[in-house]
Amino acid sequence: MSDNSNKEQPREQGVSESNIHTDFTNNMTYGEYLQLDRILSSQNRLSGHHDEMLFIVIHQVSELWMKLIIHELESAIASVRAGNLSAAFKMLSRVSKIQQQIKESWDVLSTLTPSEYMQFREKLGQSSGFQSYQYRMIEFALGYKTPHILTIYKKDPELHDRLQKAMNSPGLYDAAIEALAKAGLDIHADVLNRDITKPYTPHESVEAAWLEVYKNVEQYWDLYELGEKLVDIEDWLQQWRFRHMKTVERIIGFKMGTGGSSGVNYLKKVLDQRFFPELWDLRTKI
71 appears as a binding residue in the annotation:
no
Is residue 98 marked as binding? no
Residue 31, H or E segment? helix 30-34
Determine the pLDDT at residue 214: 98
pLDDT band at 84 (very low <50, low <70, confident <90, very high): very high
Residue pair 268/245 in contact by the 8 Å Cβ criterion? yes
Four-residue CA torsion sign, 41, 99, 96, 134: negative
Per the CB < 8 A criterion, the answer to whether 177 and 190 are in contact is: no
Residue 244 is labelled as binding a ligand: yes
Kindly state the average pLDDT of the residues 253-274.
87
Q: Give domain limits for the chain.
A: 48-284
Please say if the pLDDT value at position 32 is more than 60: yes
What pLDDT, on a 0 to 100 scale, did the predictor assign at position 186? 97
Q: CA-CA distance, 30 to 38, in Å (whole number)? A: 13
Tell me: is residue 55 an annotated ligand-binding position. yes
Q: Is this model's pTM higher than 0.85 or not?
A: yes
94-152 pLDDT, tens digit per residue, is 999 999 999 999 999 999 999 999 999 999 998 988 899 999 999 999 999 988 889 99
**117 has binding-site annotation:** yes
Exposed e or buried b for every residue in 243-282, given b needs 16+ CB within 10 A? bbbebbbbbbeeeebbbebebbebbeeeeeebbbbbbebb
Quote the CA–CA distance of 159 and 154 in Å, as a whole number. Answer: 8
258 belongs to an annotated ligand binding site: yes
Is 217 flagged in the annotation as binding?
no
- CATH code given to domain 48-284: 1.20.58.480
148 annotated as a binding-site residue: no
- Tell me whether residue 220 is annotated as binding: no
